[in-house]
Structure 1
Amino acid sequence: MTTPRPTSSRRTRSRANGDGTVYQRKDGRWEAAGYVLAPGNTRKRVRVYGTTRKDALAKLTEKIAASNRGLPATAAYSTVSSYLAYWLDGVAVHHLRENTHTRYAAAIRLHLNPGLGVKKLARLTTRDVRTFLDGLRVTCQCCAQKRDAKRRRCCTIGHCCEKRLSPLTVTYVHAVLKSALQHAVREDELPRNVARNVKTTTPRPRRFQPLTAAEARLLLHAANGDRLHALHELALRTGLRKGELLGLHWEDLDLDGGTATIHRSLQRTRSQGLTVLHTKTLASERRIALPTECLSSLKVHQERQEEERQTAGTGWTDKGLVFTTPKGKPLDPTNLTRRSRHPLTLPSPLPSSTTEAPPETNSGWGFWIQGHCLK
């Protein structure tokens, strides 16, 4: 006598509808598949893999849970452009500083999207990346980005200016692509990071002519009457970065002990304007010894700032900063850079203690001195 087969009403489902399926492949790995939310408010089937059934199921459950929260999945079958948009605004934004995020966005908008954006992420190859980077090195960016289209200049009238990207910029674009694809590998969207297989030459650092100690002394002598003389003194004698100098607070200075604690930096961001942030890394936080000349300049600067405070009256903005505008507001780093590019009027006659020719101009911020710092 045969046993009757159970009817459909007696069958029990091992997994509920919408939970996906889990099965073992012929190669021994476990594969889980299910439907999740995709960009454009659509749904798509995703597949994840694991060494055990529990591992594969956990990965699928995580993706379905994120989909239920309204987060679209980053399909390997989507284009490079759509994946980069997801990665930039959904992943990188949470662990990058705002200015770094802005630079990443510019690299994606100006270079990665035009060059690789239409390609399918799953079909992106090492050759595609290498060809793209080689093209960046030889392509005029005015032509590629149509910068002269509105003004009808240069490249739009048949006279290519051949403005190419520097090797450092090409390396930066490559690094952004590698970071994005590496996240796709971590999320099991891609089996490998094809951008890491492309080797690029390390760009040579730009050569510059540093100031000698005699030239630096001339520069300080010329800036002796400037209200920011103490800032130039600190820059030349300690080598502090521009943002670190502008982010210094009086509470960071120990004028009696002769030390300064560096743990903040002033930066301009798109959303908050001028703001004081912590240094980029913990290694940048440090305490330095201040030379005697810096201590003297800072004490004079403190007295001058107090006079400016009394002159401004209620118009003074007290933020505790060492270097400010005459109204107490933070100094814009860009304005300081622009200001430092103007030539300084050197005294005549020159100090007899030096026989070297003075620098013609101060060519930019960062008064590099041969050796370490001005002694």
Structure 2
Amino acid sequence: MARNEPAKRKPNGRSSIFFSEADGKWHGWVTMGVKSDGSPDRRHRIGKDEAEVTEKVRVLERQRDAGKTRKPGKAPTVTEWMTTYLETICPLLVASGKLAPRTLDDYRSKARLWIVPLLGMHRLDRLLPEHMEAAYAQMYAAGLSSSTVLKIHRILSRALKIAVRRELLGRNVATLIDSPEPADFEPKPFALEDARRILKAAEGRRNSARWSVALALGLRQGEVIGLRWEYVDLETGEIRPWFQLNKAAWRHGCSDPHACGEQWHKPRCRKNCRVHRHEPGCPKDCARSGHRCPKRPCPKDCTGHAHRCPQRQGGEAVFRRRKGKRKPILICPPELLPQLREHRDRQRAERARMGDAWEEWGLIFCQPNGRPLDRTEDWKAWKALLQRAGVHDGRLHDARHTAGSLLAAQNVHIRVIQDILGHARVTTTQRYVTPPQELVQDAGQRMGGALWGTPEKPNRN
């Protein structure tokens, strides 16, 4: 190789390596392709000796030949790429129905609280598995559960996967480490007698049929809240729960969210907290004493206190397709139809009393003025109902697990239960089905009879 060879004297596209007396270093140029404007995409590498530059040139050539050429220019940091991913790419997924607005809000929250503070300073192409493992260790030390850390890992892995597709990265480093193990969760479906107590306690209360629908059909909370009369046939009993009702997050409508949120943003450190103790003005023993950290203004994309903004925006309720591509048609139990007809008559009476104050959404279960039910208030009503029924405490989603378990107890085929619950995989349905203890005892008695009992003789007549 010639010394002092000009950098751009390779019209045939071959790489060039030469020594420059101007700076006393070796330089390498590699043609990686063609830029968007039609000019050659030439990458430059520099080093102290020829061997170092030769190795750098060979790395670029291997990337080019393997079709893993990174776009020209400096690679973005993790913070810059997460901003692009959450503010440009994900909103398109929300608009197309592939991503729920509430899911995007959760992505933004976890990125703001954990991904950016712990990994945001790294360049995307220099992010190593060791960096991610150290960040996860800090999350565990801050008291996060393994399920939350797993969610953060999946968010980051998905963002890096898109970066690889767009040739910003050569590999997804999130796939090089073992993903965090989710915490073992045992659902607590209600037994048949407990389910009957719940329905008995709901009698006479407003929207009592809402809990009958949840336990009989296993619909999700958003699906029950978003169920409309036009998708229910009270003659044939067909129910088409094709939509969920979700509420968009509140956004600051003022010009300075920092000043607006300053009076509300007063985080208190949790036990073993490692997030706030190094912030300016925070005492060294903040994590141990639970000291209230100094006031901090809301970050630019904070929505935690946007509902208190005098000029707040968003918060509207929107219908979106339920999970999955299927459009199931469920058959309402005959015993439930009279409850729905009675509920419709009471709702018509409420509409007549409200007059012009009634807002017509077409919802089956709504507030006294016709507006959609609030998720939090719906959850509170469920908790109060459990106390009134005298059964064990449980999540609202446990009603869905209860429906699956009760269907299995009635010898309904697992594939039918899968269609009713709307699962894409039967393995998901199996996690929703918990055999009643009576069936487990019966199985033990049958096995004992088969092994040690006297089998009945077949009747040959």
Q: Do both share a fold (TM > 0.5)?
A: yes
Superposition RMSD in Å? 3.2
Instruction: Give 2:346's match in structure 1, choosing from 299, 304, 310.
Output: 304
Is the partner of 2:246 in helix, strand or coil? Answer: strand
Change (3 A) 1:101 1:22: farther
Instruction: Give 1:189's match in structure 2, choosing from 155, 168, 173.
Output: 168
Residues 84-139 of structure 1: CA distance to partner in whole angstroms, max 9, x if unpaired? 112221222211332222111111111111111111222111221122223322x2
Instruction: Give 2:129's match in structure 1, choosing from 122, 126, 129.
Output: 126
Map of 2:107 onto structure 1: 104
Is the partner of 1:276 in helix, strand or coil? Answer: strand
Residues 143-181 of structure 1: CA distance to partner in whole angstroms, max 9, x if unpaired? xxxxxxxxxxxxxxxxxxxxx111111011011111111
Tell whether the 8 Å contact from 1:34 to 1:45 is kept in structure 2 after alignment: no
Tell whether the 8 Å contact from 1:185 to 1:192 is kept in structure 2 after alignment: yes
Instruction: Give 1:279's match in structure 2, choosing from 319, 322, 326.
Output: 322
Q: Distance in 2 between matches of 1:338 and 1:181?
A: 39
Alignment of 1:1-375 (within 5 A): 23-25=13-15, 31-32=32-33, 51=65, 77-95=75-93, 96-137=99-140, 139-140=141-142, 164-270=143-249, 271-283=314-326, 285-343=327-385, 346=388, 358-359=390-391, 364=396, 366-367=398-399, 368-369=401-402, 371-373=405-407
Unaligned runs of 5+ residues in structure 2 are: 1-10, 17-29, 45-59, 94-98, 250-313, 411-461
Change (3 A) 1:24 1:253: farther
Map of 1:355 onto structure 2: none
Aligned residues: 295
Q: Distance in 1 between matches of 2:374 and 2:197?
A: 26
Tell whether the 8 Å contact from 1:337 to 1:365 is kept in structure 2 after alignment: no
TM-score, normalised by the number of residues in structure 2: 0.58
The amino acid across from 2:87 in the alignment is D
The amino acid across from 1:215 in the alignment is D
Q: Distance in 2 between matches of 1:360 and 1:185?
A: 48
Q: Distance in 2 between matches of 1:77 and 1:33?
A: 18
Tell whether the 8 Å contact from 1:242 to 1:366 is kept in structure 2 after alignment: no
Aligned-pair identity in percent equals 27
Q: Distance in 2 between matches of 1:365 and 1:121?
A: 38
Change (3 A) 1:111 1:305: same
Tell whether the 8 Å contact from 1:76 to 1:190 is kept in structure 2 after alignment: no
Is the partner of 1:255 in helix, strand or coil? Answer: coil
Residues 166-218 of structure 1: CA distance to partner in whole angstroms, max 9, x if unpaired? 11110110111111111111111111111111112431442233211111111
Change (3 A) 1:305 1:237: same
Change (3 A) 1:299 1:22: farther
Q: Distance in 2 between matches of 1:317 and 1:22?
A: 72
Shift of 1:239: 0.7
TM-score, normalised by the number of residues in structure 1: 0.70
Tell whether the 8 Å contact from 1:218 to 1:346 is kept in structure 2 after alignment: no
